[in-house]
Structure 1
Amino acid sequence: MMDMETSTSFHDFLNRMRHPSSLDLVRSIKSFIVSFSFYQPKPENDGKKVQDFFLSMEAAIRDHPLWTTSSEEDIDCALEGLEKYIMTKLFSRTFSSSLEDEKIDNEISEKICLLQTFLKPQHLDIPPSLHNEPSWLLAEKELLKMNAFKAPHEKVMCIMNCCRVINNLLLNAATSEHVPTGADEFLPVLIYVTIKASSLWVHFTLAFDTNFFLLIFHFQANPPKLHSNLKFIKLYRRQAKLISEAEYYFTNLVSAKSFIVDLNAKSLSMDEIKFEENMQAAKLTNKVTSESSSTCQLNQQEKNECSFFQVLNNRSNYPYMEAKSKELTVGDVDTLLNHYKDLVAKHTILCKAISFLSTSEREPLLRHLEKQGAGTLILQHHGINTDTCDPHPQQDN
């Protein structure tokens, strides 16, 4: 429901912005986006600039002929569309914009990763009546969606959906178990859900044989960039909308994050010595797992590269490589056409595979391909000058 409503608001906003009479609004929006990038990131100042712009645009929209006869709901939809448009354009400039934010995100992620290995519901004094694994998993799933969105409103809705699942769990327990539930029970469950939330992430690395180019592997990750997501919402969600239920649930997740940051043995129903033993054991386990995973990935990558270049250097796969036109017969046309189609298909898949890699992963691979005589078209496809070997990434339209 959230996705449909948000999508409708956004597309309606874009459609109205295409109307000739909205040219003044479009100019204001574009001018703000361009001017915003002139300054160094300063989160608190940036947040104020964005909030002030939202207020000025709200006044402009209310007075604009396109919305003269509109209801409050229509105007609110326009403002939601405006927020999504602005913050999507400014996302890379405003989200996790400081090294300090990245550091805090990493520290929280590492701590959650350790706690996931041993934390139980009883450590947070969660009563048995609230031990409901399906509900917890559903709440975790909603929370994990938050990092996939760029608009503050959509991130808030992920938090609200997560918290509503927990709230429904409490209400059902109160009805069926006849036990009182409230804020004292809500926050511990939210903390537990936040710690236990994990998701399958997909990472692409290049592999090759005569048929396939991609090797896909998965790894577990806890809620990504929790601190940065909460800070982003606080700074850039329209202040008039971060109220009531949304504010209550958002504040609870902020409290859950703070609890996790400060968490120690005294925070839990656990002996201090036992807590430290569990943390140390988790650190050791994670270190071994990380090293083992890195070794496996390195070995697989070397194996893939070896396979790739063995196939590439096997001229029998391309029998016409050294042929001259006068040596060809009419009977060779079908074979050549099939080879051409096969080559185009592989080139397309390879380019798509490379597009998933980061810049630091992509450029060394492209250089290697070029040295092997296979990379010229791929280098050009990715905007790298093959004459100078200087990277000139193509700009997105």
Structure 2
Amino acid sequence: MSELLRESDPASQQVSSPSPSPESKTYNEQNDSESGAAEKKTPVKETNTEAVQEEEPFFDFQMFINDLKNPKAEPLVKYTRSFLSNFVTQKKFWTAEEQEKLVRNFKVFIYGKFSEFEPFNTLDRAKLNNAQEGLEKLIMGKLYPFCFSPELASKIDIEELDESHKNDVLNDQFLEDKIAEYSFIELDNLDVPNKISTKLSRFLRLAGKELNKINHFKAPRDKMVCILNSCKVIFGILRHFKLDKDGADSFIPLLIYVIIHGNVTKLVSNVKYIERFRYEKFLKSEDQYYLSSLQAATNFIINMNRKDLTIKDEIEFDAQYTVNQETQKKLREEKELKQKQEQEASAHPLTESPYNPIDDITSSMVSMFSDFFTNAASTPAVAETDGSTAVPTPTPTSKAATPKRRRSSHNRAKDDLFMQTAVKKMEEDEQAETVESLVEMFPDLPPELIEDICIAKKYRTGVCVDTLLNLYE
């Protein structure tokens, strides 16, 4: 087990030269070459220190939106509207590689335009970085149904997908099948030292909860934050028990355990989505390390069989395996029945989708910036850059191109207020959930102290766990 994990650990792998056609490989071969490429940029040591955490740049999406609503920024709005319109109308399906190139080129293009228009050309470095993050969040929120592989697969037959999107969905299923098959394994099966195994359950539940949030978000940054929070919780407990120098012998097994017992879905697609659409300069060495570690863990699980596990009692293990197989069979039957019922219900015109407050906020954003997401009356102009990638230019302003029905100032103000209120409510709920989880993890500490630390550390889960653990030392 330990040797296998060392081979999977991104910090101990040998650098390999990626093949020209990675998508023609199996998932495991892709991970090998991707991990090798990441190693060239990723320090082998763990970079998650308090100093690094405290330097985490701020992100205020509302600040970006307010700047974008400035009339002097209207050309940037038109560029963005044109790009989004072209992306969703010029071709029925873009391949994953085409999508990645289009989005990357547009970011380079629009970030360069920030220097030409107020108020963005007057921002300091931190606020300009915030604006770039905000732009990425905005466009990927709109393009998510076209770029996130499971979303595409939910709308069209998987055989119609390009090879990359298809592989994402298939590997998601391979991973989820293997998670179900071995959902009963415990820490000792993964060689986790006995001296900490009995004290980890609360921390690992929190790590799994953080990782499971990855499917609640659409922006690459938000998904990456979920991964960071989960991994930082794991590293926090390892540092507390002075096991953080053991590399794969400590971190990777716990990450594997978190993935399996957290029953995280669509994990392969989420990692691929981050790699494709997270702007490269935003991926710090710490992010790259955790992404590589997550790939190593998922790769191990996909290929896992009983010979890869430490089994002390073969008879007991076989009995647990058999019981789990029967349980999983029942769960599959229940799931199939539920899906059949949902399909029948979805045909009814009055059927409503489950309520999701994030959808309300997204709808409000789309409504506020409807010019972004609707085709202009005239066809947007397109400037050719390299002969294959179209970069939008602003549609000429004219009365003919102006929509006949404009949203009233009153309605826009209502949408503004709704979005701000909804975002604030979601933030408060998430903060309360963080405090509640930490109080459960640290029952010996006063809840008031835990809440004060959360406020001081801006509710960053990993940093809060580190600080609270230090109180025990």
**Fold conserved (TM > 0.5)?**
yes
> In the superposition, relative to structure 1, how do residues 30 and 288 fare at CA in structure 2: closer, same or farther (>3 Å)?
same
CA distance in 1, matches of 2:116, 2:335: 59
Matched, 1:77 2:130: yes
- Residues of 2 paired with 1:155 and 1:6: CA distance? 16
Distance in 1, Cα, partners of 2:312 & 2:145? 43
Q: In the TM superposition, what whole-angstrom CA distance separates every residue of 1:123-162 from its partner, at most 9, and x where no partner exists?
A: 1111123321111011011000001000000000000000
Asked whether 1:62 is paired with 2:115, we answer: yes
Check whether the contact 1:147–1:155 (CA below 8 A) recurs between aligned residues: yes
Give secondary structure in 2 for the equivalent of 1:260: helix
Q: Which amino acid aligns with 1:121?
A: L
- Answer yes or no: is the 8 Å Cα contact 1:112–1:260 preserved in 2: yes
**Structure 1 partner of 2:229:** 161
Q: How far apart are 1:74 and its partner, in Å?
A: 0.5
Residue aligning to 2:206:
138
Contact 1:170–1:181, Cα closer than 8 Å, also in 2: no
Provide the rounded CA distance (Å) in 2 between the counterparts of 1:179 and 1:31: 49
User: Does the 8 A contact of 2:238 with 2:244 survive in 1?
Assistant: no
Q: TM-score, normalised by structure 2?
A: 0.54
Q: Where does residue 312 of structure 1 map in the other structure?
A: none
Query: 1:191 & 1:8 partners in 2: Cα distance?
Result: 30
Which one of the candidate residues 179, 186, 197 is aligned to 2:251? 186
Indicate conservation of the 8 Å contact 1:171/1:181, yes or no: no
Shift of 1:69: 3.0
Partner of 1:113: 180
Q: Indicate if the aligned counterparts of 2:58 and 2:130 stay in contact, CA closer than 8 A.
A: no
Could you list the per-position Cα deviations for residues 312-361 of structure 1 after superposition, in whole angstroms to 9, with x for gaps in the alignment? xxxxxxxxxxxxxxxxxxxxxxxxxxxxxxxxxxxxxxxxxxxxx66x52
How far apart in 1 are the matches of 2:227 and 2:244?
26
1:260 aligns with 2:260: no
Report the CA distance between 1:15 and its aligned residue.
Answer: 1.2
Give the match for residue 29 of structure 1. Answer: 80
Number of positions where the alignment pairs a residue of Structure 1 with one of Structure 2: 282
Report the secondary structure of 1:126's partner residue: coil
Q: Write out aligned runs for 1:1-397 (5 A).
A: 9-37=60-88, 38-39=90-91, 40-96=93-149, 97=152, 98-116=165-183, 118-131=184-197, 132-174=200-242, 181-197=246-262, 222-270=263-311, 279=321, 281-291=323-333, 361-363=345-347, 365-366=348-349
| Pairwise CA distance, 1:187 | 1.1
Alignment deviations for residues 224-250 of structure 1 (CA, whole Å, 9 cap, x no partner): 211111110010011111121111111
Counterpart of 1:70, as a letter, is: L
Q: Which amino acid aligns with 1:112?
A: I
Cα distance change of structure 1 residues 240 and 41 upon mapping to structure 2, 3 Å threshold: same
1:45 and 1:188 map into 2 onto residues whose CA distance is: 36
User: How far apart in 2 are the matches of 1:244 and 1:288?
Assistant: 43
Q: In the alignment, is the contact (CA less than 8 A) between 1:125 and 1:188 conserved in 2?
A: yes
Are the structure 2 counterparts of residues 81 and 292 from structure 1 closer, same or farther at C-alpha, using a change threshold of 3 Å? closer
1: distance between equivalents of 2:334 and 2:123? 61
What amino acid is the match of 2:252?
Answer: L
The answer as to whether partners of 1:146 and 1:154 remain within 8 angstroms in 2 is yes
Taking a change above 3 Å as real, the CA distance of residues 41 and 267 of structure 1, as seen in their structure-2 partners, is farther
**C-alpha RMSD over aligned residues:** 3.2
Give CA-to-partner distance per residue, 1:102-139, whole Å, 9 cap, x none. 222122112111211x2111111111233211110110
The structure showing larger relative contact order (alpha-carbon pairs under 8 Å, at least 6 residues apart) is 2
Specify the structure having the higher radius of gyration (Cα). 1
Code of the residue aligned with 2:346 in structure 1: it is R
Aligned to 2:357: none
- SS of the equivalent of 1:68 reads helix
Structure-1-length-normalised TM-score: 0.64
